[in-house]
Every structure is written in structure tokens, then in C-alpha cells.
A and B are shown apart, each in its own frame.
Chain A
Amino acid sequence: MTISLSIVLWLPLAAGIIALALPGALARWVSLLGAAMVLAYAAVIAIDYDTGAGGLQYVTDETWIRSLGVHYTLAVSGLNVFLILLTAITFFAAALWVALKDTDLPKPGLYAFLMGLAQSGVLGAFLAQDLALFVVFFDLMLVPFFFLTLVWGGPDRGPAVLKLFIYTLVGSLLMLVGAIATGVLAKAGAGHHVSFLFSDLQRAPLGKGSQEWIFLVFALAFLIKMPAFPFHGWMPDGYLQMPIPVLAVFSAVLSKVAAYGFLQVALPLFPRGAVQYQELLMLLSLASILYGSAMAFSTSQVRLILGYSSVAQLGFITLGIFALNQQGVDGALIQAVNHGLVAAPLIFIVALLAARSGGSEDLRDMGGIAFRAPILAAVFLVLTLALLAMPGSSNFIGEFLILLGAFKSKLAIALIASTGVGMAAVYALRLYIRSMHNRVGPKVESRELSRADGFVLVPLTIAIVAFALYPQAALHAGERDVRARLAPVAAVQHGGAADLAAAVRRGASR
């Protein structure tokens, strides 16, 4: 079967551009159609991808800027295949939400265009097999979110966008510097020309000093994007001001690009840096887990509870990556998908809760919403249990592998991190009980999901349950590529500096 990745990559933007030219309702439906086609394409890719072989498949390779050695190279690998599917699912859900529910959204054409651009940006970052291309998409995907928040956001969106912009700007600039330095210092192309292709760069590892500082630069950019403690300053304002469907994709997908970045860029290209700063990164993850969890059960703003829980969950993911062993990274990869699948519907739930408690998104104004809404209560309950990584959910398999990986590399950190599992139970249940159960809040009016809500939420919930029954699908797909990305790190860890390049080649060819 021939699959062209350029089509799936640019389809969302194309749909957005068409929508821009169309009036009102039509724009929303064109945008939805675009998202549906991407979803179908992504599903075909996920089914068709040969997990037995692993590695890069459906490769598109063009030289883009010859003088700079930048290639337009796209490919699906075991690392990104399920993240692409996740992206398609969440963007489709967001488009469906707007098409069915936000029918009075102002400037729907512009909105559709920006969402299309955002989706193309995210897909590009996942698909890119060239460091420069990755950086371009990584920055591109953020731009529409500034505007989406500025135009459709909450009342205090100005400062929020400014803060988001400044934080991510710092990260982007650093990353750009790091990327260029990598390309120029490695001169990895044929005949010692500059090349940014991941495959070239892996074959020509940098010296120890360069690897270490460039690793730090990338790590900082990714940590800001996640966000991780203590670089999460933009998160509370950002979460409070973004419109719901925008926040759903932002929370579900964008943080995962950063986690993916660690796996795709930081580990294979700068293994010495990764090993050198392993403990630092694990400690930062631990701080994110503990601090994020504690904050999540201390605040009463529903959006912030979810925001801080993301900080904690991303902490787990980073912890798994920097366990620097197979189990930890496998767990991190599947957990990235799991968290995305759970985070998006939970953000939609925020809107439903607010609609039932007099417009307030504060837990103190809620309570007793479950009474006349058994389906909403059931859906929310499944999401809550998945969020707290209940054994039996796929999230548990992810967390199990992450903690096992961490346990094998740094016992003490894993033991402390495991308290985060208990704290997750506290904040997740607190969120559920104080909104759905207890006495009825002063302005609460309990009512069932509308049909439109059901169309968005029920399929997502079913997907979570289905994935819980067979997480091996994603684990198996990722296994070989994880091993390949870890090969350079393993070589450094085992001291064989000389045969690093050889190890990399073995890993790549495997």
C-alpha cells in the first residue's frame, strides 16, 4: 500500500485554508471533514505499519535547502505511529466539539484555519526525520495557539499569551541554537557537509563537551514545553485562558511532542549528555511529580487541577525516559499516548461541569452533579480511574513500566516517585467526588450529557477501555525503535566510547 506522508501532514492545513474562505457553518464542517480524513489516514497507517520490522517506514525524502543541508524527510517509526494516531483523534474530537456544540463561535473560518495549521505543525514535528525540520515544526505548531487564545480565550488572555510566548520563545531560541550547533559541529553529511538528518547525525556523534551543553539546551526547551517543574510558570494562566477545544488538544498533544523530542532527539544524538545529566533530569521529574500532585489537590479550579496533574504525569513520563533503560522508555512512550487519551476528554468534561454549575469552574460551586446524569457520571468515572492509573488501565501498564525502569536504575528515586501514585488517587478522586457527589451545590443543576457531548466523549472513553484491554499493540510497535534510540546511551553507559558509532549503526540497522 502506498502511503504518502506529505498528504497526511498538509491535509489539515489545506482544509483550514479552504475553511478560511467559506462562511460560518460550512467552515466548521470542512474543518471537521479534514480532521476526519486525517484520522482515517492515521488509522490506516497505524494498522498498516509493520511492527515486526519496526524502524522508519513510508519515508519521504527530499532535499529542501541544499546549501544548509536541510532535508524534508518524513517517516513513521515505532515511536511516533501511535502519537500520530493520538494527534488525529484529539484534533478530530476538538473539531467535532466545535461543529456540534460551539455553533455560535465567532470567526469560524479563521478558527478552522488556525487549528489546521496547529495540527499540521504537530504532525510535522512527529514525522520529521531531520533536526532542522523538527525545530521548524516545533516552533510552527505554537504560533496558532497564541492567536487561538488571543482571539477566543478568556477575559485575561492578554497576559497569559504574553507569558506563554515568552516562555516558549526562550525554549525555541535555545533549541534553534542547539540544532544549528549540532549540524555545524557534526558535519555529518557526505563529504563532511552539514546535514541535519537524524540518521546522519547519529552516525557522527559530537564530542563530549558539545554533547553536554547541547543536551542541556534541548532538555530545557522540552521541559518548558511539557511543562516541568519549575518551568511551569506559563501553565496556570495558559490553562485558565485557552478556549476548551483548544486546551484539549494543547493538553493532550503538545506536551507529548516534548516527550517525543527527548526520545527522538536528545537520547540518540546526545547520549553522553543524557548519561551525564541523568540524575538531574530524574530529580526534576521527581520534583514535577511531587509538586504537581500536591498542587493538584490544593487548588479548587478544575482546569488547574488538570493542569497540575499534567505536570505530575509528564514528570512520570520524563522519569521513565531518563531511567535510560528499555522498560522505562517503553513505559514512557505508552504513557504519552495514555495521558493524551485521558487529558483531552477531561478538558471537555470541564466545560460540561461548568455548564451545570452556573458557569463556575470552581469545585466549591459544584457537587451532586451525578444525580440526574448517570452516563456523564460513568464516563467521568472511567476517565478519573484512568487518570489515577488504576491497575487494569493502560495507564497502569505505562506507570508500572516507568517505575520498574526507574527502580532498576535509581532505586531511591523510584521509591519516592511511587508516592506520586498515591497522591494521584487523592487529587483525581477529590476532583470527581467534589464535582459529582456530595450535596448539591448552590447553583448546580444536574442534567444528562447531550447527544453532542456523547458523540465526542463516549468514543474517546471506549478507546481508553479498549486500549486498556490490549496495550501490547502500542508497546510492541515501539519496542524496536526504543531499543535503537537507547543503543547509543547503552554504549556510553558501558564505557565503550570507541565503539559508540558501531553500536549506533547496529541499533539503527536492527
Chain B
Amino acid sequence: MSIQTAAWLVLALPLAGSLKLALGFRFWRGAMAGWIGTAAVGLAFVFALVTLVKLLDLPAEQRHVASSLWDLANVGGVHIRLGIYIDPLSTLMILVVSGVSTLIHLYSVGYMRSDEGYTRFFSYLNFFVFSMLLLVLAGNLALLIVGWAFVGAASYFLISFWYRRSTATNAGIKAFVINVIGDVGLVLGTFFIFRRMGVLDYGPLFHGVQHAFDKNEASLVAGMILILVGAFAKSAQIPFHTWLPDAMEGPTPVSSLIHAATMVTAGVYLIGRLHPLFEWAPTAADVGAVVGALTLLVAGTIGLAVTDLKRVIAYSTMSQIGYMIMGVSAAAYTGGFFHLTTHAFFKALLFMSAGSVIAAMGNEQSLDKISGFRKAMPFTFRCFLVGGLALSAFPLMSGFFSKDDLLYEVGQRGGWYYGLYAAGYIGSLFTVIYTWRMIFRTFWGEPCEQALALEHGHLYHAPHPFNPANGEVEDTGVGFPGPDHHIAEQTWQMKAAMSALALLSIAGGLLLLPFESLEPLRKFLEPTFADSIVAHPKNTGLETVGLVLSSVIAVAGIAFAYATWVTNAGGAARWQQRFAPLHNLFVNKWYFDELIDLAVVRPLAAFGRWGRDTFERIVVSGALVGGTSGIVKSGSAAVRGLQTGLLRGYAGLVVGGMFAVVLYFLLRAA
């Protein structure tokens, strides 16, 4: 099998799975649907491995393969192929995406078991995997945009999966619209590049950019900043991030797969993919790096204050992606993609563990109500612990090596990049504290009612099914969310998936250890980034400082969190009081929602209302055609006959007028 065939199969299998489930939704009921979906993605992972093997067979300088099926459009100089591009970067991405997806599908087989929309769920989930693979395999900017929009749509389908909840549909529409804004940015950015270069395929684009543009030329910078808008919208970077916390309305496996491990990292991939263009427009790259740094700090502070379990993890995701965006924008490519990979492992694991806890709570998500689950859920607890340690970059866990490598590569560039480097370590401290705040509040303390019940072997059920976002009692008899809950302790599929991810979260660091001969990932990605024009001078001292600093922050942060939320009752309240204004700012998420509402949503709504209530009345009532309004107003039912009479009159007038005009010109022509 050729490498092209393998890669196309990676793409085709999840699509086939999605269509099979969608078209056969009457046949594939029950667990069968889940297994079909899982098998489709699992096979895609197998072929991703085949692709990897075939790629490694090629000599390093030939590790970029393009393949295309047919032309989508080839007109007026615009040539859009249905084509893919296989190189180490896209291969790494398909491995991560299909691998993590397989595990999350497996988890969902158990977790979603009692949901009435089971088949629909797996059809959407497979469609998502297809879209994400299309995004990373696309061989030109236009097809990238297609994949880009497809993952947005899939995300929307899944956020609104429980569509009877208005909170879910509102969150879905918000996510979709912000994503479309990102798409538009991407399209316009593409225009800026296309206008000059006339190509959309990656190969010619990367080779040609230095001839087509001057370095840092304004129109290239403008184009790349617009492309960054696309990256920011998809990867939940300031100020396009407000959809991500709301997206937690979706089922937890969705949060795990789409809003943590894969889709939200698409912006990172985009910047890495287009690095020859970004490096040629360093101003745009710097914008990306600064926005990433701001995001990691802002999201970290919000994570300290929010009380919804899933939203804490969501802000954490936003913050970690801030690291990656900052990294790849600052040309820390290996570090960026290393962190992307390990983050996919441990963040997916954290979400799965949180899902298990939420199920045990009967869908309650508030940290104010969850406590003391350590004894009731030993397996979930251990998984949460592993995920938390990796997230807080505890020494020797995967997150430790990846975050450190990322920041080290940023620091290597020196100068003002040290500012970003410092921001990264400040953010680290926030990360450790919010992670352990979450862990201590969930698993330590007096067991809550639900935990106690579980200790006695009874899984808690709320007396009435309710929507945790607004407390509304759910439609009964709809069957989604399902009536039963599933926790990892009682469901082997969930347990298997979480165990695998826990192992990866611990051992993922092996991909790249801070010793020169132990860097397989860097060597693998080398061919993709060989054309980088950014120098990374070696700085062994800095590397050591980073590792030490990281360890100190992790240990100190955990100690601080333990003191605040475990040993010292009321410690948290005292902190909140002392920094009341700051706490307010964080709890209200820096007022981004309110700002966007004020600046965008309200003016548009007012414009619409003005059109509907004022302007339209003038136009429709016929001010533009003179007397119609009078005629129409007097046209009550009684005079309908008269009106048809009028119509006849007009018709006569038309015919008469026509003749007059024709006559006039005929006379002139003669």
C-alpha cells in the first residue's frame, strides 16, 4: 500500500462510519452503533500508523507527499484541488487525533449508553474525527478552510447535542458564529496571499513566499493577522474565547475530545503549518505570541475563581493552548507540538475523570456541592491525580517535559521573548493552584451526600432530571441526556480508555527528554521545520533553570493549595476577601461576554430592530412608489373587487404606454 492510499483511508474511514450510522440509524441501535463508530476511528488510527511507517521509509528530504483526487474548482486562475499533504507534522497530527479519538469513542460507548441519541452521537463524533483529519491533512488553503469549517459545524452539532436545552442551543450558536468569524478571517487572509502569489497549494506557497513578498511587508502581515483571527477563534484565544466555556454544555466526551484534545488545538497546527509564511511576517507572529501569553494568564486567573468543575478544566484548556500558540508563534515548534500531544493525553483524561464524577453527582457540576469522593471513586481519583500532576507539570510527568521544552525554546530566542518566558512560568503557578484547588475540593473534605451513597454502593440519581446550567427541570420522556449515569468504577470501557490515557500522561515525556540523544520527536519533526529561518542558540544554563523552576513551582503550588483548601478551613474565603476586586474580575471572567455584547451584539440587534420597525415600514408601505400606500391602506376587504378593477386600469395604462414609446422610437428610427 502506498503512503497516499493509507492517508486517504485515514480520511475515508471515519466519514464512512459517520455516514453508515447516519443513514442506517434505524438499524444500528444500542451498543452496536458505538462499536461501529469506535471501529471506524480505530481503523483510521491503524492506517495512520501505516502512514507513519511509510513516511519513515522515505529519505528525510523527501518526507512531504502531495496527492489529489479531483478539482473542486479551476476557474479564473483559482485552482482548488481535493488534495492532501503528508509530512511529519500532518502525520503527527493524524496519529494524535485518531489515537485519542479512538480512546474517547471507547469511553463514550460506556458513558453515553443510556442516551436516546446514542446513534446520532456516534455519527456526529465520527463526522468530527473526519473533519479534524481533513483539516490536518488538507493540501491547500481552501481545503484547510473546508476542514476548518467542518470541525466548527461538528463542534456545534455536539455542543447542541441535547438540543432540548436552550442553554445548549445558545452555546452552540455562539460557538458556531464565533467560528464562522474565524473562517472569514481565514478566507480574507488567504485572499491577501492569493492576490500576490496566485496559488493555494502548500508546496508552492512555502517556497514562493520569500520571492513574492518582502520580509514583513504590510499586505503579508495583514493577511497573516487575519489568518491568526481564524486560529484565535478556533483555539479560544482572547478575545474570541467566550464560546469555549459555554461549549461545556455538550456531553463530557465531547468536551474531552473536541474542546480539549483536538479541535481547539487546530490554531496551533495552523500556525505551525504556515510557519514559512509567519516567519516571513514576524510582526504577525509576534502578535500571535503576545495574544497567546495574554490568554494563558487571563484564562489561568479565571480558572482560579470559577466553581463549575467542567469550566475550570475549560479555562485550563484555554490557558494551555495559550502556551502552545505563544510557542509556535515564537518559533518553538517542537515544544509547541510536544505540548499539544501531551496535553491531548492528560486533558482528555481529566475531562473523562470529571465526567465520571459528574455522573456520580447525578449531573451536578458545581464545586460548591462536590466533595469527598476520594474513597467512593478510587479509580477515578487516581486518574484525576495523574491528569492533575501532568497538567501542573510535576517533575517527570509528561506535562513537565513538554511545557518546559516549549518555554525553553521560547527563552532561547532571548531579548523580549524573555518576557513571554516569564509569563509562561507565572501562568504555571496559576495552573498548579487551580488544578489542585479542583482536586482538593472534589476528592478531599467531608463526603457529600452523593459520595456517601456511592460508598454504600448506590449510584445517586436526582429526583427530577434537571439542567445543571440553569436548574430547569428537563423534558421528561425525551431520553437525552440518558436517564442512567455511568461511572468509570462500574463501566469497563470507560476504565480501559482512562487507563490508557493515564499511562500516556505519565510516559508521554519519553517522546522528548531534555538530553540531546533522547529527542525522537524533534528528529521526527525536523524535515517539516528544516526551512525555519529562526535561530535557536543553545543555552544549557537556561534549560537547567527552567527544569528547577518548574519543579519548585509545582511543589510550592500544591502546598499552597493544600494549605488553602484542605488544612485551613476558610482559607479560600480570606483570600477572596483580601483581593475582592480581583476576585470579582476573575469570577466575572474579565467581563469579556459583557464587552462583546455591548460592542457587537447590541448594535447589530438595534440595527435589525430599526430596520424592522421603522425603515421597513417606509419602504414596504410604498413611499418609493408614491401613492401605493394610500391605495393599499384603503384596500379593505370590501374593495378587493375595486382593486382588481384598478389592476385592469393599470394594465391598460401599461399597454398604452408601451405603444406610445414604441411608436416614438419607430418614428425617430424611420
- What residues make up the interface of A, taking CB atoms closer than 8 Å to B? 68, 146, 150, 158-159, 161-163, 165-167, 169-170, 172-173, 176-177, 180-181, 183-184, 187, 194, 230-233, 236-237, 291, 294-295, 297-299, 325-327, 330, 368, 370-371, 374, 378, 385, 388, 390-392, 396-397, 400-401, 403-404, 407-408, 414-415, 418-419, 421-423, 425-426, 429-430, 433, 436-440, 470-472, 475-476, 478-479, 482
Contact = CB atoms under 8 A, between A and B. Distances in A.
B612 A295 contact: yes
B622 A163 contact: yes
B567 interface: no
A162 B72 contact: no
Contact of A422 (B180, B191, B612): B180
A237 B658 CA distance: 27
Chain B binding surface, main DSSP class:
helix
Interface in B180-195: 180-181, 183-184, 187-188, 191, 194-195
A439 to B, nearest CB: 6
A298 B608 contact: yes
B163 interface: yes
B188 A400 contact: no
B631 A162 contact: yes
Given A150-B644, A159-B643, A438 B153 contact: no
B74 A475 contact: yes
A162 B643 contact: yes
B632 A162 contact: yes
Given A326-B77, A374-B25, A425-B176, A470 B612 contact: no
Contacts of B611: 291, 294-295, 298
Interface residues of B, number: 74
Nearest 5 interchain pairs by C-beta: A298-B608, A326-B76, A391-B149, A437-B163, A425-B180
Contacts of A423: 604
Given A327-B78, A472-B71, 16 more contacts: A162-B647, A163-B632, A165-B647, A176-B658, A184-B665, A230-B619, A298-B605, A371-B164, A390-B153, A391-B150, A418-B187, A421-B183, A429-B172, A429-B173, A439-B475, A471-B72
A161 B611 CA distance: 23
A399 to B, nearest CB: 9
A470 B70 contact: yes
B194 A404 contact: yes
B169 interface: yes
Contacts of A173: 654, 657-658, 661
Contact of B74 (A170, A403, A430, A476): A476
Contacts of A194: 669
A371 B478 contact: yes
Given A159-B643, A184-B669, A433-B172, A476 B75 contact: yes
Contacts of A159: 632, 635, 643
A325 B195 CA distance: 13
Contacts of A430: 173
B616 A295 contact: yes
B149 A161 contact: no
B22 A378 contact: yes
Contact of A438 (B166, B180, B644): B166
B640 A158 contact: yes
A419 B188 CA distance: 11
B620 A233 contact: yes
A236 B616 contact: yes
B146 A391 contact: yes
Contacts of B620: 233, 236-237
Interface in B613-627: 616, 619-622, 624-625
A475 B73 contact: yes
B212 interface: no
Contacts of A165: 647, 650
Contacts of B164: 368, 371, 437-440
A181 B187 CA distance: 43
B322 to A, nearest CB: 24
23 contacts: A162-B643, A163-B632, A166-B625, A169-B650, A172-B654, A176-B658, A233-B619, A237-B620, A294-B607, A298-B608, A325-B76, A330-B75, A368-B164, A385-B153, A391-B149, A421-B184, A422-B181, A425-B176, A425-B180, A430-B173, A433-B160, A470-B70, A479-B75
A212 B22 CA distance: 55
Nearest to A170: B625
Chain A binding surface, main DSSP class:
helix
Contact of A408 (B72, B166, B195, B622): B195
A470 to B, nearest CB: 7
A397 B142 CA distance: 9
B177 interface: yes
A294 B644 contact: no
Contacts of A297: 608
Given A426-B177, A438-B166, A397 B73 contact: yes
B662 interface: yes
Contacts of A437: 160, 163-164, 169
Interface string B430-471: 000000000000000000000000000000000000000000
A162 B76 contact: no
Contacts of B191: 403-404, 407, 414
Contacts of A158: 635, 640, 643-644
A401 B75 contact: yes
B628 interface: yes
Nearest to B479: A371
A146 B650 CA distance: 13
Contacts of A422: 177, 180-181, 184
Among B80, B153, B180, B646, which residue has the most Cβ atoms of chain A within 10 A? B180
A219 to B, nearest CB: 16
A471 B74 CA distance: 9
A225 B604 CA distance: 27
A161 B658 CA distance: 21
A184 B664 CA distance: 11
A476 B80 CA distance: 13
B177 A429 contact: yes
Contact of B662 (A180, A401, A426): A180
B314 to A, nearest CB: 22
Contact of A166 (B145, B616, B628): B628
